A and B are shown apart, each in its own frame.
Chain A
Amino acid sequence: MAQPGFPRWAAVLGLVALVAPLAAPNDYWIGVMARICLYATLALGLNIVVGFAGLLDLGYVAFFGIGSYLYTFLASAHFGLHLPFLVTLPIVILLTAGSGILIGAPTLRLAGDYLAIVTLGFGEITYLLLINLDRPVNITGGPSGIVGIDPPAVAGFALSTNTHYYYLFLAALGLTLLASARLRHSRIGWAWQAIREDELAARAMGINTTVAKLQAFAIGASFAGIGGSFLASWQRSVFPENFLFTESINILAMVIVGGMGNLLGVVAGAALLVSLPEVFRDLQRYRLLAFGLMLMVLMVFRPQGLLSFERKESSDD
C-alpha cells in the first residue's frame, strides 16, 4: 500500500517550530507552546485509538495519570528513587503500554457507546485510586499529590527553563508524529482502519481483531506515558486534579476539532485548544464562554475538523 513521501511543508513547519521561541513575547508564552507540544503528543496517542482504530475511549486521561505517577515513583523523593531520566522514560513508556493492555482487555467485546461508557469508568476509577491510595500505605500521596519530582537531566545537564522543556517536548512530538505516520501505513495501521470501517469484515479478511485492538490501546497508552512523564517532570509535582474526566474530553476534543485521523490536524487541534483559553484570558470570567462559543462555531462550519480527513466521508450508498 502506498507509502506517502515526507511532505516538504512538514519540514517547513518543523523549522518554524524550532525558531518559534525567539518570536514568543515572553517566557509565559514559551510555556504555552511547550504545553501545546505536550498535549499534541497526548492527542496523537488518543488518535491512534479513536482516529485509527475507531475505538471511542473516554478514559484516556487514565493513561496520562498512570504515566505521570509512574514517573514520579521512579524519579522523586517520594520513594527515594532518583533514577536518571533516560532510564525512567523507557520504563514508564513500557509500563503505561502494559496498563493499556490491562484496561483494554476487558473492553474488547464492546463497541461504540458501551466501549465509551466502560472506558469512562476506567478513567474515573484511576482518578479515585490516585486520590485514595495514600492509606493504609502512602502510594500516591492522596489529594495533596506528590511534590519534589526530579527534573529531566541528560549527561549532567538538567532542564530548567520553559525553553528547555519546549525543545524536549517538541522533539518528542516530532518522534510521535513520525511514529504515527509510519504506523498508519503499516500492517497494523491497515488492520486498525479495517476494524474502524467494519469489524466483522476485518475478521473475515483474517485480521486478528483482538490483537490489533490491544496494540492500539498499548501504543496509544505509551504516548500518554511520554506525556505523563513530561508533565510530572515539568510541574515537578503531580496531583489527582491533573487527571480529571474533563482532561479526557479536552484531549478528545483536540482530536475531533483537528480532524480525526489526520495527524497534522490533531496537532493543530491541540494548538488551538491549548492556546485559545490563553488568548481569551483577558475576558476573565467570560473566558470559558468564549472558548465554548468558539468550539461551537468551529463545529458548525468545519464539522469534519480543522484539517479535514484527507479523504471525503463516504456517501450514503
Chain B
Amino acid sequence: MTLRSFIRHETFLAILLVLALFVLSWQSDRFFTVANLLNQGRLMTETGLIAIAMTFVIATGGIDLSVGSILGLTAILTGVFWKNLGVPLPAAAVAAIAVGTFAGYVNGLIITRFRVPALIATLATLALYRGLAEGVSQARSVRGYPDWFYVLGQGEVLGVPTQLWILLIAAVVAAVILAYTRWGRTTYAIGSNEVAARFSGLSVEGTKLALYTMSGFAAAVAAVIFVSRVSTTRSDMGSGIELDAITAVVLGGTSIFGGRGTVLGTVLGLCLIQALKNGLSLAGVKGDGTIMLIGIVLILAVLASAIFERSGTR
C-alpha cells in the first residue's frame, strides 16, 4: 500500500473517465453540454453522499447495506412529520435526519456491542428500516411541499445545482479527514488489522460507532435532498441505492476487505458510473445494456488494480 499504488488506481480511473466522456460525447451531441453535465451532478448527489460515508465504512472492513432503507425511512418521516403532525417543514426535516442518524447509530451499536458482522447486522436493519418506512407511510405518498423547499433539490446556487455544492463540500471534508487526521488513520488501521489497532490503544469501537452513525446521517441528508428533487415522498425511495454506492466505492479502489481506499477514488468511480448511465442512454443503448456495461467496467477496474498492486509489491 504505497503512495504509488494509490496514485495508480486513481490515475487509471481518471483516464478511464476521460475516455468514457470522450467516446460518449462523440456518440451523442447532447451529452457533453454544461447543462447536461450539471444535471447529471444533480442526479448523482444522493448516491454520492452515501458513497462517501460508505468509503470510510468499507475502509474499516465493514459494510452498510441499510442506507437505502434509512433513506426511505427519513424521506417518509420528513413528509409525515410535516403533513400529518403539522411540524414546520425545516424542523420536520431536521427531526427526520436525526432519526436517520439514530438508525445509523443503532447499526453501529449492534455491530460493536454484540459483535454481529456488519453484513448481517445491516442486512437485518435493511429489512427493519424499510418495514418501518412502509408501516409509517401506509402506502400513501406525500406531495405538495412549499416552493422554497425545492431549492435544495431543483434550484441552483451560482449556476450550479444546490446539492452539487453539498456533495462537493462533503467530498473535500471527507477526503481531508481520511487522508490527514487521526480518525482517517484509525479507519485504515482498523481495516488492515483490527486486533493490532486495539492493541495499539486506538479506539476501535468508538470509531466504528461514529462511522456507522455518519453513514446513517449521510443517507438521511440524501433523503431530504431526494424528496426535494422529486417533489414527492414514497416509502420505496432509495431501495437499491446501497448497491450503487458500494459499486462506486469499490470501483474507486477501496478494498472490500478494508485498509485501502480514498474519497477521490470514490468520487471518480461515481462520476464514471453516472457518465456511463447517462451517456449510453443518450446514445440509445437500452437500460439492460448499460447495467451490463457497468458490471463489466467494475470487474475490469478491480482486475486492473489487482494487477497493478501485484506488480507493485514484488
Q: Do A and B come from one complex?
A: no
Residues of chain A touching chain B, judged by Cβ–Cβ distance below 8 Å, are none
